[in-house]
């Protein structure tokens, strides 16, 4: 996991569900918690709630949403998976994979403990959709060098984009339990 960008989980007694916090250690180290909440000023927040409904209403400019039943996991949208290609996605503040997937998020019994499965995955990866990768292979789409390097690194590591990387990409999506 990127040491500069971590996630914390906690159960919440006031609103049933799992709360997932995105911690940007650089922001926390720079601003701390004692100077007018500067830790959460600007586009990158030091402490941000990852809202399970994917609506990010707590960050909406001028919004009055102070949290709702869609924010905890699984919450009102029954979102049980948090991974690199889900909505919201487990990405760091540079848009690269944070290195884990949570799935099977559930409450074991009413008012009781939360449970989930944690799977560690590569950090710093580029998130791509299958049509984009298909296009790159067929020459109809152009990927960044970082994306090409990431696909090859997670594929057959021969220094170029090819079918071996495409197969590895598909298999990784299946392991993560997300549609390619």
Q: Per-residue x/- marks for Ca ion, 18-37, CB under 5 A?
A: --------------------
- Nearest 5°: the CA angle 23, 25, 27 is 95
Q: How many CB atoms lie within 10 A of CB 7?
A: 18
Q: Identify which of 2, 179, 175, 7 has the alpha carbon closest to the alpha carbon of residue 87.
A: 179
x-marked contacts with Ca ion along 35-54 as a string, rule CB under 5 A: ----------------x-x-
Our CB check for Ca ion shows the closer of 92 and 165 to be 165
Q: Tell me the site size for Ca ion, rule CB under 5 A.
A: 13
Q: Minimum distance from CB of 87 to Ca ion (Å)? A: 13
Residue 39, CB half-sphere, CA atoms under 13 Å: how many?
16
Q: Report how far residue 121's alpha carbon sits from residue 172's, in angstroms, rounded to the nearest whole number.
A: 9
Query: Quick check: 92 binds Ca ion (CB under 5 A)?
Result: no
Of 37, 158, 171, 174, the residue at the interface with Ca ion (CB under 5 A) is 158
Evaluated on CA atoms 7, 11, 14, 17, the torsion sign reads positive
Q: Which of residues 51 and 80 has its CB atom nearest to Ca ion in the complex?
A: 51
- Per CB under 5 A, contacts with Ca ion among 113-152 are 152
Q: Choose, by CB under 5 A, the member of 18, 24, 46, 70 that binds Ca ion.
A: 70
Residue 68 in the binding site for Ca ion (CB under 5 A): yes
Q: What DSSP string describes 26-94?
A: HHHHHHTTSSTTGGG-SSS-SEEEE-TTS--GGGSTT------TTSSBSGGGT---B-TTSSS--B-TT
Q: Is residue 165 a contact point for Ca ion (CB under 5 A)?
A: yes
Judged by CB under 5 A, which of 9, 11, 57, 93 binds Ca ion? 57
Q: Would you tell me which residues interact with Ca ion (CB under 5 A)?
A: 51, 53, 55, 57, 68, 70-71, 152, 155-156, 158, 162, 165
């Amino acid at each position: 996991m990127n040491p500069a960008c971590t996630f914390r989980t906690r159960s919440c007694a006031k609103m049933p569900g799992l709360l997932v916090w995105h911690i940007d250690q650089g922001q926390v180290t720079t601003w701390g918690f004692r100077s007018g909440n500067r830790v959460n000023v600007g586009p990158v927040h030091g402490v941000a709630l990852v809202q399970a409904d994917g609506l990010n209403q707590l960050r909406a400019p001028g919004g009055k949403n102070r949290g709702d039943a869609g924010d905890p996991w699984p919450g009102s949208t029954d979102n049980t998976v948090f991974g690199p290609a889900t909505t919201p996605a487990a990405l760091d503040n540079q848009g690269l994979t944070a290195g884990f997937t949570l799935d099977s998020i559930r409450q074991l019994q009413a008012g009781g403990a939360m449970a989930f499965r944690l799977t560690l995955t590569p950090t710093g990866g580029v998130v791509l959709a299958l049509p984009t990768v298909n296009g790159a292979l067929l020459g109809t789409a152009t990927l960044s060098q970082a994306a090409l390097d990431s696909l090859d690194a997670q594929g057959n590591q021969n220094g170029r984009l090819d079918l071996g990387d495409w197969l590895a990409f598909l298999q990784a999506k299946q392991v993560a339990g997300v549609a390619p």
